[in-house]
A and B are shown apart, each in its own frame.
Chain A
Amino acid sequence: MNKFIATLAAAGAVLAALPAAAQNGAAHEPHASEPPTPRFPDGTVDFGGDGIWDQPWITDFGRQLVGSDEIPFLPWTKAMYDYNKSTNVAYDPQGFCLPPGGPRSMGTPYPSEIIQDFAHERIIIIFEGGAHVWREIHMDGRPLPNREDVNPTYFGYSVGHYEDDGSTLVVETTGFNEKTWLNFNGTMHTDELSTTERFSRPNRDTLHYEATIDDPGAYTEPWTIAWDVPWAEGLELAEYICQENNKFLIDLVDELGNPFFKKVPVE
C-alpha cells in the first residue's frame, strides 16, 4: 500500500509538470483498436447501442476550459464561487436532490442514455442520477424561442440539428431557471443563460461533449468547456431516486450551527 501511495505521489509530480493546456478539455484521439463510430444508414451518428454513457466522476468545469485558462467571472459570481468553496459547497442544489440542469447534466457521475427518436423528430436524454430526470431536444427545425417567451425550467428549452455530415449534434438551449449551479464547484448563473452544446462520437467508446456558456448576467464573456464521457458496453440504466432518504439534508447545518431546515416541535 505504501508503495502504491509513493507511486501516486510520483505520478502527481509528473502531472504537475504537464503543461496546463494538456489537461484542459483535450480532444479525444481515436485509436485504431477502438470500435468505430456507430451510424444510422444515412450516416448520422448513433449515440445509442447496447450500453450506456457512464460518466465516472464529477467534472470540474474550471479544469475543462477550451481556449482560455480562467472562468470569466463577474465580481458577484466570483464572490459566490469563493463563498461556496468556503462552505465546502454544502448548499449545492444537487445535494438537495434537485436536477443538475445545463451542461452539468453531462458532468455528473451517473450514467445517461441518449435516445434519438427520428420518427418524432426529437431526442430524449435520460439521466440516471441528478434526481432521475430527462431532457427533450426538439429536432423538427423549429427556431430557438426568445428567452422571455419561455417559462424558466431546470433544463431550459432545447432545439437541435446535425452538422459535419451528421457527425455532430448541435443543441441550443435557453429559458433556464436560476435554481441550479453550473458546476459542482459553485459556479452560478442567471436566467440570462443560454448554452450551445456539441455532441460527437469519435469512436464507439467515446462521447465528446463540448458546451459554450453564454450568460451576460454572470460572466464577462462566453466560455467553453469540453470533456469525454466513456461508453460502458453491455450496461443498462438502473433506478435511482435521490429524494428517498436524504440524510445529508436532515443533518445539514448553516455557518452558525443552526439546522438548515427549521425543526418544528412535536406537540
Chain B
Amino acid sequence: MRMRFTVAIASVVALGSSVPVLAHHSFAAEFDSDNPIDLTGTVTKIEWMNPHTFIYIDVENEQGKYENWALEMGSPNGLMRRGWTRNTLKVGDVVSVTGSRARDGTLKGNARAVMLASGERLFSGSSQPGAEPQESN
C-alpha cells in the first residue's frame, strides 16, 4: 500500500508541472470530462488511422434500440506502445469502453480504457488530461 501511495504522489506531482496526454488537439474543445460514458457493445468498425484510431460499437439504449457510437482513441503509434496491435480488436467483439462524451451531444466519445472480450483492459491513449496513471518522472 505504501508503494501505491508513493506512485500516486509521483503522478500528481508530475501532473502539477505538465499534462500527460496523447493528443494532437485540445481534449476540452471536443469532449466533456464531466459527462462520463461507460458503454458495452459490439464492435462494428475499426479505423486504425492517424491522428486518432476510432472504433464503432453498437450499444443498446434504454428503449432497447441499438445505437452506433464512435469512440476516439490514440494514434496507432501510441496504442502500439500501450500494448495494442491491429489484431487486438475484431468486428463482432463485445467490449466495454469508459471515457467522456462529446460536447456536441452526438453519439461520439473519447475512450479512456477498453475492456476486451478476453477481460484484458487496455488504456486507449486518451487525450484527456490525467487519463492514464504515470509511474515515472
Q: Which residues of A contact B (CB under 8 A)?
A: 4, 7-8, 11-12, 14-15, 18, 23-24, 56-60, 63-64, 87-90, 92, 94-95, 97, 109-110, 128-130, 184, 227-228, 230, 235, 238-248, 251-253
Is B104 a contact of A251 with CB atoms below 8 Å? yes
Among B13, B24, B52, contact of A94 (Cβ-Cβ < 8 Å): B24
Is B8 a contact of A7 with CB atoms below 8 Å? yes
Is B17 a contact of A8 with CB atoms below 8 Å? no
Among B12, B26, B28, B51, contact of A245 (Cβ-Cβ < 8 Å): B51
Among A15, A18, A59, contact of B18 (Cβ-Cβ < 8 Å): A59
**How many Å from the CB of A35 to the closest CB on chain B?**
15
State in angstroms the CA–CA spacing of A63 and B81 once bound together.
Answer: 28
Q: Which residue of A lies closest to B27 (CB)?
A: A88
Q: Which residue of A lies closest to B102 (CB)?
A: A251
Within 8 A of A (CB), among B9-42: 9, 11-26, 28-30
Query: Beyond the given A95-B26, A110-B78, A240-B77, could you list 9 further A-B residue pairs with CB under 8 A, ordered by the A residue number?
Result: A4-B8, A15-B13, A18-B13, A57-B19, A57-B21, A60-B17, A88-B28, A242-B24, A248-B52
Q: Which residues of B contact A (CB under 8 A)?
A: 4-5, 8-9, 11-26, 28-30, 47, 49-52, 54, 72, 75-78, 80-81, 104, 134, 136-137
**How many Å from the CB of B85 to the closest CB on chain A?**
12
Is B21 a contact of A240 with CB atoms below 8 Å? no
**Chain B residues within an 8 Å CB radius of A95:** 24-26, 29
**Chain A residues within an 8 Å CB radius of B25:** 90, 92, 94-95, 248
Is A238 a contact of B77 with CB atoms below 8 Å? yes
State in angstroms the CA–CA spacing of A246 and B25 once bound together.
Answer: 10
Among A57, A63, A235, A251, contact of B30 (Cβ-Cβ < 8 Å): A251
Given A4-B8, A14-B9, A15-B12: A88 and B26 interface contact (C-beta under 8 Å):
yes
**Chain B residues within an 8 Å CB radius of A184:** 19, 26
Among A89, A227, A244, contact of B50 (Cβ-Cβ < 8 Å): A244
State in angstroms the CA–CA spacing of A135 and B16 once bound together.
Answer: 30
**How many Å from the CB of B26 to the closest CB on chain A?**
4
Q: Can you list 30 pairs linking A and B with CB atoms under 8 Å apart?
A: A7-B4, A8-B8, A11-B9, A12-B12, A15-B16, A18-B13, A18-B16, A23-B16, A57-B19, A57-B20, A58-B18, A58-B19, A60-B18, A89-B28, A90-B26, A90-B29, A90-B30, A94-B25, A95-B29, A109-B21, A228-B137, A240-B75, A240-B77, A245-B47, A245-B49, A245-B52, A248-B25, A251-B30, A251-B104, A253-B104
**Chain B residues within an 8 Å CB radius of A8:** 8, 11-12
